[in-house]
Amino acid sequence: MSQPNEYQPPQVWRAPEDASGRFGGINRPEAGARFDAELPRGGHPLQLYSLATPNGQKVTIMLEELLAAGVREAEYDAHLIRIMEQEQFSSGFVAINPNSKIPALLDYSEEPPVRVFESGAILLYLADKFRHFLPDSHAGRSEALNWLFWLQGSAPFVGGGFGHFYAYAPFKQEYPINRYTMETKRLLDVLDRRLADERYLGGPEYSIADMAAWPWFGRLLDGTIYDAATFLDTGRYTHVRRWADAIAARPAVQRGIIVNSTTGDPAGQLHERHEAADIDKALQARRELAK
């Protein structure tokens, strides 16, 4: 391995004056609101503030799956939070999520309204509220939650670790790319071994564990995130591929990944439930943009 000039940490770290990299303008060592602004509110009890990143897609997939299952109370308004424009640091958003990360949810069907932040917490909240996509049995619920929390702990290695150093860092560095590639492939192997024995992560039933994991690992396999499918040799994970393809074919998943997208016609971004013709139109628009 080639050795770059070694960095010598100072005795006390100070934030650099000129932060570089794609996320240099976002990252700061302090929390809290940076400006005052109220959040918009639509007409449904569920108000979602998010962006179509893998973490955001977990929740919109869940909401669209609930609607597909006939849960009309799951109708929602989805409001776009443009993280590169630092909208997550408004006083309104910070009041819902003090951590300033998407997604965040407000449930006005409760009095007082309930705030829910962190994607895994939102999935669990919705599953409990509507009694869908989480097994009723103690053992089945526990197994599904095992994999939900596995994903919540694993995704930062894939995104903030592998994705950052492979795709977004200002320059390539061998050590961090090797370190996080190794961990990402280990996690893919964990998935592959699990899915060799079970149809879904929690067992025979599709659950919030699959909704959480698919936007990360399913999309790694098709190159949608980080364009790294060849680099990671994802073709070897055949059981993950079977699982990922089955989930990708679900209409509610196809709707969920479009909500709060920053590309395409905003009218086709499915902020609320649409009919099949609208889904096809929106998906075709995204395909045309990708050409």
pTM: 0.89
Contacts of 59 (CB under 8 A, 6+ apart): 48, 50, 103, 105, 119, 122, 123, 126
Task: Report the pLDDT value the prediction gives residue 266, as an integer from 0 to 100.
Answer: 56
**Distance between CA 73 and CA 130 in Å, rounded?**
8
pLDDT digits (tens, 9 = 90+) for 23-67: 767 888 999 999 999 999 999 999 999 999 999 999 999 999 999
Model confidence at 235: pLDDT above 50: yes
Instruction: Please name which of 163, 240, 173, 205 lies closest in space to residue 2, comparing C-alpha atoms.
Output: 173
Q: What pLDDT, in 10s, does the model give residues 53-65?
A: 999 999 999 999 9
Mean pLDDT estimate for the chain: 90
DSSP state of 35: B
Q: Please report which helix (H) or strand (E) contains residue 58, including its range.
A: helix 54-68
| pLDDT over 60 (residue 269) | no
Query: Which class is 138-255 in CATH?
Result: mainly alpha
pLDDT at res. 7: 85
Instruction: Compute, in degrees rounded to 10, the torsion defined by CA atoms 119, 198, 65, 60.
Output: 30
pLDDT at 166: 97
Inter-helix orientation angle 138-156/174-197, to 10°: 160
